[in-house]
Amino acid sequence: MKSIYQAAIVILIVSGILIFINDKLNEGGSAGKNTITVYNWGEYIDPDLIKQFEKETGIKVIYETFDSNEGMMGKIEQGGTSYDITAPSEYMVEMMKEKNLLLPLDYSKIPNIKHIDPYFLDLPFDPGNTYSIPYFWGTVGIAFNPTLLEGQTFESWESLWDPTLKQRVILVDSARETVGMSLNSLGYSLNSTNLGELREATDKLKALTPNVKAVIGDEVTQLMVNGEAAISLTWSGQAADMMYENEDIDYVVPEEGSNLWFDNFVIPRTAKNIEGAHAFLNFMLDPEVAAQNADYVGYSTPNLTALDLMDPEVVEDERFYPDEETRSHLEVYKNLGLELLGVYNELFLEFKMNLR
């Protein structure tokens, strides 16, 4: 059958040409053996920095992206990949550590660690930073649009329970954040393991029901930007996105305290080029690099020296770089273990079922 053969040949030729073009574009990729593979969140690094790193060290970077901690760990655990660097959040660092998926870092090869604010080092999820280096950090707080409200502010979590805010509050669909917010409002720890406290927090959360407009995920950004929602519980990074697109929006971390989260660079056990991975870590910790990267990505950098090189207006913005006082109220999530995590999820579900 002529036309079928013809079609097949045309397709093969087109694919051949495309493969050729692709190879040309990728040139240099196979030139040297010295490459590292970086597995990071999408849009989480300034691409110019990768070029700069390649030029300075001669190490070629293969860059790949993922969209969830769990997906990332799944692929590393399963093997078949050779990622040299990846960037899990703090609870995932703990989990990967337990599963023996990480390599300890050699700090003699990462002298730039001295630029990191000691406040962000030696935290419970990785004591002594044996396996991880903080990359970006942020908080959980309340994003709100004052133009849609009547002078309410949210210095305290308690203000969310204000009876005038009927059907206006959007919560995130995540057990630790939402139950944690309620725990904080009662003055308890985010990592509470006391079932009585958890019960109390859930009951308090139920009292919030009339004010809850929705419990959703990332879609909240668009709703806030378009002014369709006035108040949302959210992460500082997401709040920054909202504020970037809609200048009316403001963000606060309530005074009772809140969650402090991290994304961290680690070297997985499956890494092939450990030397190159350390070089990359050291490069990313360079103050100039970190400053440029923080500028591009928009999250808060833990690099103390870099702060001096950045736009003072950004660095002095206490919403994203909170002062010592606020920070002393912040807590990092601890890995509570599967059983207790189950309890959190159960209580959160109970609250969600109560919504209707």
Partner 1 sequence: MERIGKLPKLYLTVVFIILYAPIFYLIFYSFNSGGGMSDFESFTWEHYAAVFEDKRLIVIVLNTIIIALLSALASTAIGVIGALAIYFMRNKKMRNAVLSLNNILMVSPDVIIGASFLILFTMIGVKLGFASVLISHIAFSIPIVVIMVLPKLSEMNPTLIDAARDLGATSKDIMTRVILPFIKPGIFAGFFLALTYSLDDFAVTFFVTGNGFSTLSVEIYSMARTGISLTINALSGIIFVVTVGLVLGYYALNRKLKAPLAGVKK
User: Which spans of this chain sit near partner 1 (rule: CB under 8 A)?
Assistant: 1, 3-4, 7-8, 11-12, 14-15, 18-19, 21-22, 25-26, 29, 37, 41-44, 47, 62-67, 71, 74-75, 78-82, 218, 221-222, 225-226, 237, 241, 244-246, 297-298
Least separation, in Å, of the C-beta of 251 and partner 1?
16
Distance of CA 176 to the CA centre of its chain: 15
Question: 186, 204 in Cβ contact below 8 A?
Answer: yes
Residue 191 neighbours by CB distance under 10 Å: 17
Dihedral angle, C-alpha 183, 186, 187, 192, nearest 10 °: -30
How far apart are CB 80 and partner 1 at their closest, in Å? Answer: 4
Six-digit token pair at 62? 């293969």
Q: Which is closer to partner 1, CB of 52 or CB of 81? A: 81
CA gyration radius, the chain: 23
Closer residue to partner 1 (CB): 7 or 195: 7
CB 19, min distance to partner 1, A: 6
Is the CB of 22 or the CB of 147 nearer to partner 1?
Answer: 22
**Residue number, 177 or 241, with CB nearest to partner 1:** 241
Considering the complex, what minimum distance in angstroms separates the CB of residue 326 from partner 1?
Answer: 24
Which C-beta is closer to partner 1: that of 1 or that of 338?
1
Q: What's the rounded Cα separation, in Å, for the pair 110 and 119?
A: 18
State whether residue 79 is helix, strand or coil: coil
Give phi and psi for 20, each to the nearest 5: -60, -45
Q: With respect to partner 1, which residue has the nearer C-beta, 170 or 225?
A: 225
Inter-residue long-range contacts of 316-322, CB under 8 Å, 24+ positions, other chains counted: 319/141, 319/236, 319/239, 319/250, 319/251, 319/252, 319/253, 320/138, 320/236, 320/240, 320/251, 322/139, 322/253
From the CB of 288, what's the least distance to partner 1, in Å?
22
Specify the residue, 272 or 329, whose C-beta has the smaller distance to partner 1. 272
Residue 234 is inside which H or E element, if any?
strand 231-235
Contact 210, 219 (CB under 8 A): no
Q: How far is the CB of 158 from partner 1 (least distance, A)?
A: 30
Looking at the Cβ atoms of 95 and 243, the one nearer to partner 1 is 243
> 3-state DSSP call for residue 286?
coil
Q: Which is nearer to partner 1, 211 or 273 (CB)?
A: 273
First to last CA, the chain: 62
Is the separation of the CB atoms in 161 and 173 below 8 Å? no
Measured at the CA of 332, the angle between CA 105 and CA 109, to 5 degrees, comes to 15
In the complex, the smallest distance separating the C-beta of residue 316 from partner 1, rounded to whole angstroms, is 23
Question: What are residue 89's DSSP bridge partners?
Answer: 263
Residue 159 beta carbon to partner 1: minimum distance, rounded to whole angstroms: 27
Minimum gap (Å) between residue 64 Cβ and partner 1? 6
DSSP3 helix / strand / coil % (the chain, rounded to 5): 50, 20, 35
Min. distance of Cβ 54 from partner 1 in angstroms?
Answer: 12
